[in-house]
Chains A and B, each alone.
Chain A
Amino acid sequence: MSQAKSAAAANTALIHVQAVNKTFLLGDEPVHALNDINLSIQAGEYLSVMGPSGSGKSTLLNMLGLLDVPDNGQYWLNGADTVPMNEEQRAVYRRSHIGFVFQSYHLIPRLSASENIELPLILAGIAPAERKRRLAPVIERLGLGSRAGHLPNQLSGGQRQRVAIGRAIIMKPRMLLADEPTGNLDSQSGAEVVQLLEELNADGITLVVVTHDADLGRRASRRIRMVDGVIVSDDRTSSSDAQSRTDQSDAP
């Protein structure tokens, strides 16, 4: 019965997380990083996850990004049940559905800006001509034209993060997961990066941002607050999405 209901919800929402738990051992102490999390995210939403350190927000992001698997519970992504998948299947799913933006950029230092952006296309086995065709508009959109041949250490922090965003969106994923995307940036390049992310959201990509920065968190139309592995609040300013308001009441 509840299986049928979650399947139905999974069909409508991009992300449907039900009764998910994740426990780490920190030394001998078990830490309940995700404690019975229920969450639905519709396609195109702009969502921020805030909370103190160790509240489980990064764990939630990693789990949403299929970088980590829950101990139990269900996670439906784009209508597919991801928990039974093996690592290889998750890899394929990550490649085609999810883009990551990290606080420390995670660019490969020996590859140029354009080669870093191209990497997911290479991993997907796309032909060189097609790669070039897809690369050009992304580089232009990021305003990296003159810097495309530079190595990451020749770029400023803001430029590096834009390269990382380019890499995240080159596969045209449905969802962009950003973990403290402005954490290493000064306020001006941070603002530019946020603007870029919000433009991408306006174009239809689902954006989930994990942050400590209250100003950044407030910009999202839906704001989740986590404490000790539990979602303590889920506010939204937008009125456009009344239907997803029922999600929280799904929780037992």
Chain B
Amino acid sequence: MIRSRDQLGFSIRALLRQRFRTLMQLIAMSIGVLAVVLLTGLGEGARQYVLGEFSVLGKDILIMLPGRKETSGGMPPMTGEGTRDITLQDAQSLLRLPEVERIAPLVVGNAEISRGARSRETLVLGTNSAFFDIRHIQLARGQILPELPLDQPSPVCVIGTTLKQELFAAEPALGQWVGIDTYRCRVIGILADTGTGLGMNMSEALIMPVASSMQLFNTEGVFRVMIDVRSAMGMGVLSRQIEDIMRERHDGQLDVTLITPDSLLKAFDSILSVLTFAIAGIGAISLFVAGVLIMNMTLITVSQRTAEIGLLKALGASSREVRQLFVTEAVMLSLFGALLGTLLAEILLWLVRIRYPEIPFAAPLWATVAATAIAVGCGFLFSWIPASRAAHMAPVTALQHQNGK
């Protein structure tokens, strides 16, 4: 009975002394594993990124938009074509409900911000102090909007870092005045650099009290109202209560839409999960192709080495030992290939993470484990079959293989 150490040595020598073939198989296997790990890593990164964007909103938030579209399923309308505006009084009235803790109305528009000779067209958000808390917005310096009654304008604003850079460069901005179209306000706070959130690049935004922004944009209605709920329990009941209030205030007509980030999140999550699985599927196919390549290589190897198999049997190796030698070789090869592929994929993901630090690209553990398992499984199965066949040949037939060639 051959010793397992000698068996390993025999296989390692077979791999090391046939470098070209070994290299080809190694490349095939590692590319297969690389594809799976890399693709799922990218897909998973994208999914985590989108989920993270939504989780900024928090779970206990309802969003009310003007207009209503009766659709069965799918996403609610993001831009309402309201028959009637949601006014600040509408928003204020929601605070009557004991379950509603805070509300943050939101008015969005573009305006030209100027300071001295510099000016720039940018995003203007009109809201209140609650908005900062609800959206978890951090300040680099200064303070957030003051707590004012919703309908009271005030000439103050908070600006994003990019905007501050563009208007003030290195000069201090706090306490300075900026022009917003025909309006003027004093900078009281600067946002911390938190990047984008829900598609809005906050670093380029200017945030001002909602009443001021409504004057600026000459509008009666708000773009949306964020409603911070005391507890996520009974979201459905609360939605109906809010709808009741709005129907009452709008002459019996329900012309607002309520959405929960949760439902959006779920919609996105299932879409992105499908995406991740699709990507993993593509990876699995490439892995399978690599497996078939290994099978072909093993088939060629085995038929090239049939005479060797015959010889080993003539020298007294049993069929089982012969098969083990070839299977060990293939499994070792696919294991090394899988390790190499995983390593390469991790390096590539790391490089991508350096390039795009805000997106958490990382291969999920299951993908790495599954890819390695499939690689080793392919190596095992696809070497077992031809090796078994060769090992069961009569030794004399196997030996004559080379003579007859």
Contact = CB atoms under 8 A, between A and B. Distances in A.
A91 interface: yes
Nearest to B392: A87
A63 to B, nearest CB: 9
Given A102-B399, A123-B312, 5 more contacts: A67-B399, A87-B318, A91-B318, A94-B314, A104-B402
A153 to B, nearest CB: 12
B319 interface: yes
B18 interface: yes
B402 to A, nearest CB: 7
Contacts, number: 75
Contact of B13 (A62, A96, A103, A111): A111
A32 interface: no
A167 to B, nearest CB: 7
Contact of B319 (A88, A106, A108, A120): A88
Given A88-B319, A124-B316, A104 B403 contact: yes
A123 B317 CA distance: 6
Interface string B370-399: 000000000000000000000000111001
Given A94-B316, A95-B316, A122 B6 contact: yes
Q: Which 3 residue pairs across A and B have the least CB separation, nearest first?
A: A95-B316, A110-B17, A67-B396
Interface in B300-333: 307-308, 310-321
B177 interface: no
Contact of B399 (A94, A95, A96, A106): A106
Nearest to B317: A123
A51 B185 CA distance: 115
Contacts of B310: 106
A65 B313 CA distance: 11
Nearest to B7: A122
Interface string B314-358: 111111110000000000000000000000000000000000000
B358 to A, nearest CB: 52
Given A68-B394, A122-B2, A108 B315 contact: no
B10 interface: yes
B17 A94 contact: no
A119 interface: yes
Interface in A126-153: 127-128
Nearest to A92: B316
Give the size range of A's interface with the partner: 20 to 34
A104 B405 CA distance: 12
Given A106-B402, A110-B18, A91 B396 contact: no
A128 B10 CA distance: 13
B395 A67 contact: yes
Contacts of B13: 110-111, 115
A125 B318 contact: no
Interface in B1-60: 1-3, 6, 10, 13-14, 17-18
A212 B403 CA distance: 17
A125 B3 CA distance: 5
Contacts of A75: none
17 contacts: A65-B314, A67-B396, A87-B319, A88-B320, A92-B316, A95-B315, A100-B314, A106-B307, A106-B310, A108-B308, A110-B18, A115-B13, A122-B3, A123-B315, A125-B2, A125-B6, A127-B3
Contact of B396 (A68, A108, A127): A68
Interface in A82-97: 87-88, 91-92, 94-96
Contacts of A123: 2, 312, 315-317, 321
Given A67-B394, A68-B394, A125-B2, A106 B311 contact: yes
